[in-house]
A and B are shown apart, each in its own frame.
Chain A
Amino acid sequence: MGIDIAATKNVLRDRRPQLLARGNVVATGVGYKVTKGKKTPDLSIVCSVVKKLPLVQLSKKDMVPPTMDGIPTDVIETGYIYALQSHTARYRPAPGGVSIGHRDITAGTLGCWVKKNGQFFILSNNHVLANSNAAQIGDPILQPGPYDGGSLPGDHIANLSEFIPISFTDTPSTCPFASGVAGILNGIASILGSDARLKAVRARAQENLVDAAIARPLSDQDVKNDILEIGALNGVAHGELGMAIKKSGRTTALTTGEIQQVDVTVAVQYGEGRTALFTDQLLAGAMSQGGDSGSAVLENSNKLVGLLFAGSDTTTIINRIENVFSALGLSL
């Protein structure tokens, strides 16, 4: 007690440059000192740091002294402080979490940067980078995506390098020849008194594991190997039931959720009446909307667990990152 706020502010104004020059300090302000988790009535100079470290690990010049001109100091851990950033803007270099897309689609999300044969590639979905199987290898990829104003040649960031084709489920056959043959055989069967009938359908499609594609940047100078609002990736992890997860995407930015189901088999609609069946998926609650496809999904310690690609009003569907990496031969 006895320290008045005006005096504290004056001290802080004089000392702020010195405090912010310390390696770990990201913000300074005036607040009540917190001791052993309890707020005390004493005003203090509060220094926000990226990470609280034991004094022995700090060099003398980075230490915050216990008092400054008679005013006590307090140190709290806040991590890095980010400006609320647009996910639909043009970025060079481009981080994960921003708008991207093949020139013929609307927009999706640049998941993260991955490596193949020692080179950087953009990881996102087939339906974002390869227009749901319709693209040609080498097609231009725009950042931001066309819906967010991306156009050729100014926003051309990469070329489609590889995609895992999506296998769509069977639909009634539209082949007139097959239907004709089936009709004739059914006619013969009915004459012979058989109850069995043939129907022409397309062969049942395979189950899919991933909706994934990679694109090679035109220049490695356009690579910003972290994720907007999240930071750098810290390895990969196996997604488990109950795991807390987060993603940074074009439409809903940074959102969090929990893995509610594993080993999920799910029928996903791709528009124009096309449906594809996916197995071994992760399912979380609502944490995405259209345009978030391709987002990297991370657990608490920033380990990559999946690639977001679909969802409903109440769910989000995520490819396991192990399946993505093994399908395309990728690493971080």
Chain B
Amino acid sequence: MSFLLLDLVYDRNVPRKPCLICGRQVHGAKGHNIKNGNTLPGSPALQAGSFHRLCLVILLLWISSGQVYCEDQKMSPTIQEVKAKYTDHLLAMPGVVSVGIGRNPDGTLVIIVGLDGPRPDTVRQLPKELEGFPVRAEVTGPVRAQ
């Protein structure tokens, strides 16, 4: 975030490209400033004309919302990531032949652990959930090449 701000405010050497919102060819935020000849003191980015200032505010909000979204994702991994993280551990348990992603009857995603037969000890040791995703055991029998 701070890197992007610095880039917008100070980097005059970025190549000319269309403003994301107004479409004119500009050198980042500095380009708006020069074009409008506005000489208000303070950060160059804030000296732009009112329309371009609005462009900049929208752009900053867009960037920061993207940043928040990314952090959200970091905090709650996907079921694929969680499954990948624990697969080796689950496959090492006695009788486990498969680990996959399926759905419960209510439609929620679930990590399904396949067993080669009834394995009460393994079922007892299985976590009920992993990082918020439910885990379910199913007896599939041994899986063979056909």
* A residues at B contact (CB < 8 Å): 108, 125, 127, 132, 211, 241-242, 260-271, 277, 281, 283, 288-293, 308-315, 317
Contact = CB atoms under 8 A, between A and B. Distances in A.
B140 interface: yes
A312 B144 contact: yes
Residue in B114, B140, B142, B146 with the greatest tally of chain A CB atoms within 10 Å: B146
B63 interface: no
18 contacts: A241-B103, A261-B101, A261-B102, A266-B114, A267-B97, A268-B143, A268-B145, A271-B144, A309-B145, A310-B146, A312-B97, A312-B114, A313-B140, A313-B141, A314-B140, A314-B141, A315-B98, A315-B114
- B interface, size bucket: 20 to 34
A266 B83 CA distance: 13
Nearest to A279: B87
B68 interface: no
Contacts of A292: 146
Contact of B100 (A271, A283, A290, A313): A283
Contacts, number: 94
A46 B101 CA distance: 47
B97 A266 contact: yes
A285 to B, nearest CB: 10
Contacts of A125: 145
Contacts of B103: 241-242
A267 B98 contact: yes
Given A127-B145, A268-B144, 7 more contacts: A125-B145, A263-B83, A268-B143, A270-B144, A290-B144, A310-B146, A311-B143
Nearest to A289: B146
A315 B143 contact: yes
Contacts of A277: 91
A168 B99 CA distance: 18
Residue in B83, B103, B139, B143 with the greatest tally of chain A CB atoms within 10 Å: B143
Given A241-B101, A242-B103, A269 B140 contact: no
Given A263-B80, A265-B87, A312-B141, A241 B146 contact: no
Contacts of A262: 100-102
Contacts of A242: 103
A26 B80 CA distance: 48
A263 B100 contact: yes
A108 B146 CA distance: 8
A164 B140 CA distance: 27
B130 interface: no
